[in-house]
Amino acid sequence: RLPVPKLEDTIRRYLNAQKPLLNDDQFRKTEELAHHFQKGIGRELHEQLVAQDNQNKHTSYITGPWFDMYLKAREPVVLNFNAFMSFNPDPKSEYNDQLIRATNMTVSAVRFMKTFRAGYLEPEVFHLNPEKSDTQIFKKIIRFVPSSLSWFGAYMVNAYPLDMSQYFRLFNSTRLPKLNRDELYTDEKAKHLLVLRNGNFYVFDVIDRDGNMLKPSEIQAHLKYILIDNSPAPAFPLGYLSSENRDTWALLRKNLLDNGNEEALQKVDSAVFCLSLDDFPIKDFVHLSHTMLHGDGANRWYDKSFNLIITKDGTAGINFEHSWGDGVAVLRFQNEVFKDSTKAPAISPQSQPASVDSSRAVQKLDFKLNDALKAGITKAKQKFDASVEALSLNMIQFHEGGKDLLKQKKVSPDAVAQLAFQMAFLRQYNQTVATYESCSTAAFKHGRTETIRPASMHTKKCSEAFVRELSKHSTEELQKLIVECSKYHGHLTKEAAMGQGFDRHLFGLRYLALSKDIALPDFYQDQAYARLNHNIISTSTLLSPAVQLGGFGPVVSDGFGVGYQVHNDWIGCNVSSYPTRNGKEFLQCIYKSLEDIFNVLKGKKMSS
C-alpha cells in the first residue's frame, strides 16, 4: 500500500524544496508557517488522513483526491492535460503505409485488450536486478505461488510488481463532461471501433458476436472503405466540442442529447478506442509534435481514453486523456502494440482486403445540430485555433554524449538532464523557479504519481558556478558540484518512487480540510506555497524502443512543458511554451548547459 509519510518528514522535505526559491526573509516566514502547521492543524489533519487510510485498505489515500483534481478541473483537456507519445516508424519501410499500419495496429490493440481481459497479460514488474528475476525460471516458479504470497516471492529477488488497476480504462472508455465534475465512463460490452477521418465519424465492429476479433483482412477492408470515402468534411465538426471548457461542453452535450443524438454519442463514448486517420504526411519533428499533441481539432475526440493517430505517411502516435491513468499504463500498451505490429504483423503490403460489403458494416454517424449547437461548435473552433496559435513547440537533439558516458562518469543521466534545465533557466531568466518532475508510484496499490522537485540548493549552487562564476572554479570543483547534484537528485527520486515525496501528502491534507469545511490553514495561504505549485518548468521523461518522442503543453501560461529522453549516446528534448516565454532560446540554453556539463565531465578546462 502507498504509505502516508510522517508529517515531520513532509515538512522537512517541503522546506528543502522552498529554500532555493526564496530569499532569507521569505524563507523565515514560510518556515514559521510550516512549523506552526506541523504542531497544530496539520497534525490533526494528518491523524485524520491516517485513520481514513486505515479504513480504506482497498485503495490509496491519493486515489480519490487525485481523480477529483483532474475531473473537477474546468479547463479544456487538450493542451492542458492530454499528453502524446509518438511511435517509432515500422523498421520495414513498406509497412508504414497508412492502411497497412492502421490495420496492423488496430489488430494488435484488440489483441492486447483481449489478452488483458482474459487475464493472460504478463504482470508489469519493475526488476531492480533483471539478471536474477527477469528470467523464465523465475516466471515458472512464481506462477505456482498463490497470489497472496507471490508479491513477497518477487520482493525476495528485488522484483516489484506494479499496480495495473488503471489498465481496464484503456478501452471502451471516455471522460464525460458534466457540470462541476466530469465522469469516467466505461462500457466493456461494446464491440465497435470509432474511426475519425476528415472530421467525419465512422463505427464498425472489431469483435463479433462470439467475442472473437474480426479477421484482419475484414478490418483492412473496412478501413480502406473509410479512407476512400469522399464525403465532404462536415461544416460543423463535432470534434471541436471535446476541446472546450468542461462546463461549456457539458451544457452543449446536454443540448446534443436533447436534440436526438443519444445513440450516436453512445457509440462515440463506448467505442473500443478512437482511431484518427489524418490526410497529410508529417514534415518534421515539430510538425509531428503539433499533430500528436493537438492536431486540427476536427479529427480528434480528446475525451476518449486515447486516440491512436495515423497520418498519410503511416506516422503513428497516441494522444491520451490523463484523468483515468498515467504514462505507465499507456506506455505498456504502446510497447506491446509496437512489438506485436512490427514483429508479427497481421497483414503485409501484399495482403488483399477481404471481399466484404463494407458499406453495410461501416456506419457513418450523423449528428443533428440546431443553431445553438452550430454556434457552440463555431465558438469552440475559434477558441481552439487561438490556443493552438499561441503554442510554440521546439526541440533539440544533443549528440555529444548520453547515458553511456554519464554512467561511466558515475553520475545519474536524469540528474544531468534536470541540472541542464536549471542552468538554462538561470542563464535565460536569471532566477531559480518551481520545477516539477513526474515520478510513478505504481509500485503501490492504486499509486499514481509523486513529484520530484529537481530545483535544490545543490542545483542552484552548481548552476550559479557554471553561469556566473565559471572562471573562478577549477574543473575538479565543477565536477564535484555535478556529482553532489547527482547524489541529491538520486536521493529525491528514490524517495518519490517509494511514496516519500511531500507534494501528494500536502495535497491530501489540503483536500481533507476542504472536504470537512475546515477553514484553509494559513500554511496553504502562504504565497510561497502557491508559487511552489505554480510549476514554471514542468518535466517528464520516458525511454522505450517503441516511442520516438513524447510531450505535453505547459501547465501554466508562463511555463515550459519539457519532454526529454536520455538515450545511450544522445539526448532529445522538446519544449512547449506560450508567448510569455521563449522556448527556442530556452532550448539553446539547455544545449549550452549540456555542452558545459559534458565538457567538465570529460575533464576539459572551462573558460567563461
Active site residues: 322
Task: Answer whether 304's CB lies under 8 Å from 72's CB.
Answer: no
Phi, psi of 206 (to 5 degrees): -110, -5
Cβ neighbors of 528 (< 8 A, separation 6 or more) are: 18, 21, 22, 26, 29, 30
User: What is the C-alpha separation between 420 and 573, in angstroms, rounded?
Assistant: 11
User: What is the C-alpha separation between 54 and 561, in angstroms, rounded?
Assistant: 37
Q: Which three cell numbers stand for residue 479?
A: 565536477
Q: Which three cell numbers stand for residue 314?
A: 503511416
Residue 492: count of CB within 10 angstroms of its CB: 25
- The owner of cell 497470489 is 147
Q: Give the distance, in angstroms, between the CA of residue 285 and the centroid of all CA atoms in the same chain.
A: 19
Cβ neighbors of 28 (< 8 A, separation 6 or more) are: none
Residue 428: count of CB within 10 angstroms of its CB: 17
Q: Rg (Cα) of the chain, in Å, rounded?
A: 25
Residue of 478, 495, 481 whose CA lies nearest to 608 = 478
With the C-alpha atoms ordered 477, 482, 488, 494, is the resulting torsion angle positive or negative? negative
The Cα-based distances of 429 to 92, 391, 422, 425 in angstroms read 45, 20, 11, 6
User: What is the C-alpha separation between 425 and 352, in angstroms, rounded?
Assistant: 55
Residue of 127, 540, 475 whose CA lies nearest to 331 = 540
**Reduced 3-state DSSP string for 294-332:** CCCCCCCCCCECEEEEECCCCCEEEEECCCCCCHHHHHH
Q: Which three cell numbers stand for residue 348?
A: 503485409
User: Kind of pairing, strands 316-320 and 306-310?
Assistant: antiparallel
For the sheet with 560-566, list strands across it.
Answer: 392-398, 571-577, 560-566, 537-541, 435-440, 449-452
Task: Answer whether 479's CB lies under 8 Å from 597's CB.
Answer: no
Residue 126: count of CB within 10 angstroms of its CB: 17
Q: What H or E segment, with its residue span, contains residue 125?
A: strand 125-127
Residue of 238, 2, 8, 219 whose CA lies nearest to 99 = 219
